[in-house]
A and B are shown apart, each in its own frame.
Chain A
Amino acid sequence: MLTKRIIPCLDVHDGRTVKGVNFVNLRDAGDAVELGAMYAGQGADELTFLDITATVERRETLAALVKRISAHINIPFTVGGGIKSVSDVGVLLSSGADKISVNSEVVRNPGIIDSLAAEFGSQCVVYSTDVRHNGEFWEVYIRGGRTPTGIRAREWIKQIENRGAGEILLTSMDHDGTKNGFALEFTRDISEMVQVPVIASGGAGTMEHFVDVFTEGKADAALAASIFHFREIDIPDLKSYLRERNIPVRIEK
């Protein structure tokens, strides 16, 4: 049976993880590869690396990091952050990334999704979008959640799926950082609307929140960062908890 996926997200800058990470058993907890390998060993189903480097050398440092990740990690991983062109993506995929995620650039140039799907196939194109409810509708934000666009997320996501996105990573800014649970209704609405898998993000605080997002939220996968990095939830415990509640998950023996 197809299982629900648990995806830790690692923010990286110049090849190093940036969010405070608290793992005493790692030689170098700031090394993105070592942290990723540890999560893979614990049973993470995929990894997402979000590059927030803003320097001109970012493309080279990121490609070097992706090569190191693919050498050491035996589960799929996605790379995102600042991707603006088909050639950016070509470099990352040939360096070993399984998927890439695009966000702000899609609002500036939706055709990039068509180009990426045609060039590399939909299976490696993740559309990552940050949304917030503005009192009237769920609105798309760009530039790391700093800039509202006035775009209605629901119709927009459908259009981006039709252009060839193979997966949707949906982050509710209203829920992100609250630890009060995921945006269940909206995640369900999007997951039922699109034909491709939906990864829910933002709001995870307890193991029960993951149950909720997979049952009520109808998510195919759930992504979280700080609760894993700060060891508030360990992935093996989370997987056992989910399995006990009849959520299909992969537990490696």
Chain B
Amino acid sequence: MIRFIAVRILRAMITIFAVVTFAFVVLRMSGDPAQVMLGPDVPQEAVDAFRRSWGLDQPLWIQYLAYIKSIFSGDFGVSMRDKASALDLVLQRVPATLQLTLPALLLKLALGIPAGVYAALHRQSFADRGVILLAVLGFTIPSFVMGLLLVLIFAVTLGVLPSGGQDTWVHGILPTVTMSIGGIGILARFSRSAMIEVMGQPYIRTASAKGLKWHDVVWNHALPNAAVPIVTIVGFMVGSLIAGAVVVESIFSWPGIGRLLIVSVSNRDLAVVQCILLNIAATMVVSNLVVDLLYGWLDPRLRSNAAH
């Protein structure tokens, strides 16, 4: 078990390291930040001074080592635009993003899993077909189309909900709904197929044959076994709590991480973009790690297999 955990943690750390390297290489290779920040008509001395003050005159590998070193000491650099700490800028935006993504996650879990399980237990019924249809629709409609359609219906035509901004909780309704619809569809579909597979297993027949109540069969025998594939999807959703809102935040002018990313990317604000990439990757890797460990707990067979 310890070996299993150790291997997972090592892989997670290698992944984070790869992301840091990727961010560094792509962002440094793509152009000279001095030119972008200062504009084309600046005298050479100013450009040199700028490059010296940001360490851009050093060879790339020295910059890279310095960058890795500063990250290990908790220093994520300073925004080139407004000289504030990049980490602070990013952390300021986290609550706004979570205000959307956490309710959306709850909505996905509360509607998606029950709908999928219900559909699986009532196969071929009217409800089952309805769930499948809505699920397929839910995840084939891209979020920006869904968001704009909702704005068109509820903000423009009916005028009952605001179309953008972050003033009251009412402003959060449309973005949250937009964000959760696709996930509800995906979860419903996965829960349904996981449940259908489990319900066909011999141990379910045994459990009902020995006279257990149907309720007990479903809750104690079927659901725990259907949990493994569902946990994978939920883990992915938890991992994208921070990253998943880029498009939706942009539609509803919501001041979260996604908006910050788009703004910093168009300003070529290296430190902030790197910091966001690192945060997103860290959330994703940690939640993947937790999912892997949960697997080991949910399904003891995986412990011995996965560590080899």
Q: Are A and B a genuine interacting pair, yes or no?
A: no
Residue numbers of B with Cβ under 8 A of A are: none
Residue numbers of A with Cβ under 8 A of B are: none
